[in-house]
Amino acid sequence: MKGFPDSPGLYIAQRKTDVVLIKITGQYPLLKLGKGINVAKLINGNKVVEVDKEVLSNIVCFSKEWDFKLLPVDSTAFPENVFRADGIISIDPETRSSIRNNYFRLLQMGTPISDVLRAESYEYNITMEQMRQLANEFDKDAN
Rg, Å, the chain Cα set? 19
Secondary element (H or E) of residue 12:
strand 9-15
Given the DSSP bridges, would you call strands 9-15 and 32-38 parallel, antiparallel or unpaired? unpaired
pLDDT at 124 over 60: yes
pLDDT in tens, 82-94: 655 555 667 888 8
Mean pLDDT of 101-123: 91
- 83-92, 98-107, 117-126, range with the lowest pLDDT: 83-92
**CA dihedral in degrees (97, 98, 99, 101; nearest 10)?**
80
Helix (H) or strand (E) run with residue 10 in it? strand 9-15
* Domain boundaries of the chain, sorted by first residue: 9-77, 93-142
- The whole-number average pLDDT for the span 21-44 is 86
Q: Which amino acid is it at 104? A: F
Q: According to the model, what pLDDT value does residue 60 have? A: 87
DSSP line for 18-60: EEEEEEEES-TTS-EEEEEEEHHHHHHHS---BPPHHHHHHHH
Q: Is the pLDDT confidence value at 36 over 70?
A: yes
pLDDT of residue 73: 82
| Higher-pLDDT residue of 15, 32 | 15
> In the structure, what pLDDT confidence band is assigned to residue 113 with cuts at 50, 70 and 90?
very high
